[in-house]
Chains A and B, each alone.
Chain A
């Protein structure tokens, strides 16, 4: 009954959606211990920037998408400096009041949730006030491929390729570069990293910027296929959080693995029984994962590795 190609394409589609939705969130949470509830609105910024760059400025689509990622990254750095670390307000208050007014939100899960939730409300409503209830949307590029009685959007396949590419780039960045080494040192032990001469403050800022620009890029990439309205970020939030929780502590590997597992579940069930059941299956899978793998897939892998080392 199920067409094999359909299922494969549907899997690629779900995989790309989950990976792209989760990537920025996973980096910010995994490295900084900050739960960014404004993640959906960062996606919104990327999507709106890319769309407006095409419709208002006439930029080519690819350039507009990069601009979307860049603008969101800059906005992320601004957010980090002002709200998350409070570096800029504190700089001012040190010189006027003689003390800090903002305590950094790193590793304060509940506090970071409240702050970023507030930010998300401001951004959604701000977009509504500035741009109205919707903006004109750009068409999906690349047309469709056909096979038998079926056809599928080529752009969706490109998205899957891009998501894999982004994973590889992120993996390379965090494991093979100087920057990545410093970033990981900062996560593992902030004090020691500082003692070794790592500017942890700057690492936090840049990491937040990278996470934000990935969110922005996600929005820009999906801009041609989703409805352009101020609450569009909500559509990504469930998948993003489920993927991060199921993925576990290792950012890149976790995102890839949970994208694979959850994408397969989502694709299979929505293909066989419809979209609604697909959603249910995704949430049930997350429940089961949380019950039996409380530290996510990569936490479980770590555990196995440790157990093997102990038995050796």
Chain B
């Protein structure tokens, strides 16, 4: 088995750290096997509930893997404030009811200090009441429609306003103002489509038509005909899940040759690797991360990609949400060290002070440069990219810049440290054109 020089260094560091903490663990462990008092001073527990089977397995599995990578790295480098991380990891099987059960278990029986859970917005909304009732520190790491202003939830994935906000204006400028929207038929798709209307209005474009497609649907013949009939300049696609992937193959084979902007394709389900070219030709993804993002900390020697595939050689792809799980674990680490305790109210206070990654003492996030957690809204000022696939499915970065989450802070006025609340704001409340 061959190792790169950097990983050998890491390996040495890891074994050294493991030796030290192993000894520490021995001395503490002598007190008995009780997990609540003795070990809580030397360890902390992180809950990771991500889909490894079911409809979201393809996109959820890398999240679980990336969390484990971050935890292993942190443990190997001495843990958080000297505390080793224990994990409570289960597979909720893309089933919201199972999510609710496991969330209760994680909080009430496992006493997790922080919880990472859930791929879809439907899942997040299914478990958020449990989170809030138990005042549990919770990280939701999927890119999503935006608007969650919740004192216990840190929605650290990019929002529709960030993702669509970078890609939509670019496509209007490049191809013209007429848009056709297709989206998955649940809260994420509906709200994202509203955002397309808001952004279209802000960029002097117009939405010719929109169609919402059930998650179980995999035949897109009539959708393709309807797009051709409307004859837009480009399509905005917020299709989600394995069944909807069929759309891209079908539109290519039907000869529908049109630019497509998306917040969901490629970065999550790596369609450009799974489908034969040219299914994904001319698709522009507005994302904070893809495996191909050309930053030094990502694709450089010994970077995020190298470390991930060293730990998981058989993993197919490193997706957008995996990166979010990864860096948010480091954000949590920094917050605990700043707070000097794992007590959740103090850690939340520390997170709200505006944790940054990419500074001297914290690692750079793979998506690029400095990223900052906005304490007022619990969202992240992401470094956003437009990634385009060509005829051969090669990926190039078209544009990139840091985009703060402005809907909650500027439009909805969410300020959690001053006004703790548990609301999800929607664009319909603030924009006429979203109605």
Please indicate the chain B residues that have their CB under 8 angstroms from the CB of A151 in the complex.
228, 254-256
Among A13, A132, A134, A146, the residue within 8 A (CB) of B221 is A13
In the complex, which residues 219-240 of chain A have their Cβ closer than 8 Å to any Cβ of chain B? 224-232, 234-235, 238
Please indicate the chain B residues that have their CB under 8 angstroms from the CB of A152 in the complex.
221, 225, 254-255
Min CB gap A22→B, angstroms:
15
Residue of chain B at shortest CB distance from A234:
B216
Q: Does the CB pair A156–B221 fall under 8 Å? A: yes
Of A10, A136, A156, A225, the most chain B CB neighbours within 10 A belong to A225
Of B185, B220, B221, B273, the most chain A CB neighbours within 10 A belong to B221
Please indicate the chain B residues that have their CB under 8 angstroms from the CB of A146 in the complex.
255
Pick out which of these stretches binds chain A: B10-18, B29-37, B116-124, B275-283. Answer: B275-283
Of A133, A134, A136, A231, the most chain B CB neighbours within 10 A belong to A133
Known contacts A128-B53, A149-B231; is-contact A133 B61 (Cβ 8 Å): yes
In the complex, which residues 243-258 of chain B have their Cβ closer than 8 Å to any Cβ of chain A? 243-246, 249-250, 252-256
Residue of chain B at shortest CB distance from A1:
B229
Q: Does the CB pair B225–A139 fall under 8 Å? A: no
Q: Does the CB pair A235–B316 fall under 8 Å? A: no
Of A152, A234, A275, A276, the most chain B CB neighbours within 10 A belong to A275
Min CB gap A58→B, angstroms:
14
A150 vs B257: C-alpha distance in the bound complex, in angstroms? 11
0/1 interface trace, chain A 276-290, chain B, CB 8 Å (1 if under): 101100000000000
Please indicate the chain B residues that have their CB under 8 angstroms from the CB of A170 in the complex.
none
Assess whether B88 is interfacial by the CB under 8 Å rule: no
A275 vs B227: C-alpha distance in the bound complex, in angstroms? 12
Assess whether A140 is interfacial by the CB under 8 Å rule: yes
Pick out which of these stretches binds chain B: A87-95, A180-188, A266-274. Answer: A266-274
Residue of chain B at shortest CB distance from A144:
B255
Assess whether B226 is interfacial by the CB under 8 Å rule: yes
Q: Does the CB pair B221–A150 fall under 8 Å? A: no
Min CB gap A291→B, angstroms:
24
Of B54, B58, B253, B279, the most chain A CB neighbours within 10 A belong to B253
Please indicate the chain A residues that have their CB under 8 angstroms from the CB of B275 in the complex.
137, 139
Assess whether A311 is interfacial by the CB under 8 Å rule: no
A225 vs B211: C-alpha distance in the bound complex, in angstroms? 21
Among A3, A142, A225, A227, the residue within 8 A (CB) of B242 is A227
A6 vs B243: C-alpha distance in the bound complex, in angstroms? 23
Q: Does the CB pair A225–B217 fall under 8 Å? A: no
Q: Does the CB pair B225–A134 fall under 8 Å? A: no
Residue of chain B at shortest CB distance from A125:
B53
Known contacts A150-B225, A228-B274; is-contact A133 B245 (Cβ 8 Å): no
Among B54, B185, B221, B276, the residue within 8 A (CB) of A137 is B276
Min CB gap B173→A, angstroms:
25
Assess whether A197 is interfacial by the CB under 8 Å rule: no
Assess whether A155 is interfacial by the CB under 8 Å rule: yes
In the complex, which residues 1-44 of chain A have their Cβ closer than 8 Å to any Cβ of chain B? 3, 6, 9-10, 13-14, 17
Please indicate the chain B residues that have their CB under 8 angstroms from the CB of A125 in the complex.
53
Residue of chain A at shortest CB distance from B277:
A139
A142 vs B254: C-alpha distance in the bound complex, in angstroms? 10
Q: Does the CB pair B254–A153 fall under 8 Å? A: yes
Known contacts A125-B53, A229-B242; is-contact A139 B255 (Cβ 8 Å): no
A151 vs B228: C-alpha distance in the bound complex, in angstroms? 8
Min CB gap B93→A, angstroms:
10
0/1 interface trace, chain B 197-227, chain A, CB 8 Å (1 if under): 0000000000000011110111111110110
Among B213, B225, B250, the residue within 8 A (CB) of A225 is B250
Assess whether B335 is interfacial by the CB under 8 Å rule: no
Q: Does the CB pair B256–A227 fall under 8 Å? A: no
Which 7 A-B pairs rank lowest in CB-CB distance, beginning with the nearest?
A: A144-B255, A139-B276, A140-B253, A151-B255, A227-B245, A270-B222, A153-B253
29 A-B pairs (CB sep. < 8 Å): A9-B221, A17-B219, A128-B57, A134-B242, A134-B269, A135-B274, A136-B274, A137-B249, A139-B277, A143-B253, A143-B255, A144-B253, A150-B229, A152-B225, A153-B250, A156-B253, A224-B249, A225-B249, A226-B246, A227-B246, A231-B55, A274-B223, A275-B213, A275-B214, A275-B223, A276-B212, A276-B217, A278-B222, A279-B214
- With A133-B57, A153-B255, A227-B249 given, can you name 11 additional A-B contacts, CB distance below 8 Å? A125-B53, A132-B314, A136-B273, A140-B249, A140-B253, A149-B229, A153-B250, A156-B221, A231-B242, A274-B223, A275-B213
